Amino acid sequence: MPRMDGMQALEKLQELGCKQPIYALTANAMSHEIAQYLAIGFAGHLKKPIEREVFLATISQYYPEINDSPVHIQSNADISDLIVSFVNHLSQDKQDVLQYSDTGDNESLVRTTHKIAGAAKMFGFAELSQSAFELECAIKKGDICIIDDLTHCLLDEISLIQRKNKMDTN
């Protein structure tokens, strides 16, 4: 997170009196790391990249109106508002990708593509997730020959989703 890490966020939420369960969302999923998260007060953890089924099952634990059946949870949990929010934020992500690409700010570009890849996978946008992941990997490897092409592929995927969303809302 840009301003504080998850442990700092947990501490701040606890200071504010939050009594709701708080989950660590992390790529650090070794058993000793998970034990540390639980010891400091997290209710549990979700590993990145987020697995949709695990995410939905975790959320459903705190909403008694959802049937406890895993099949029911997966088919009826409504995350459409989260998907809409993700799609709506793609225009800003697209601007960020263009800016970081134009200025050669590969560090920011990696952060943005990483964020897009994870969220896109979670919300069922497989092609967008794959494009973002490939660009992230190319930048990390320093494979400058294909970074521009992969950036254009990512931007094209974003544009496709935006066009489809615009057609669906009209």
Q: What domains can be seen in the chain, in order of their start residue?
A: 6-76 (no CATH), 80-169 (1.20.120.160)
One digit per residue, the tens of pLDDT, for the chain of length 170 reads 557 888 899 999 999 999 889 998 887 778 888 888 899 999 988 887 777 778 878 887 877 665 554 544 445 556 788 889 999 999 999 999 999 999 999 999 999 999 999 889 888 899 999 999 999 999 999 998 999 999 999 999 999 999 998 888 87
pTM recorded for the entire structure:
0.66
Region label for 27, one of left (φ > 0), alpha (ψ between -120 and 50) or beta (otherwise): alpha
User: 């992969």: which residue's tokens?
Assistant: 150
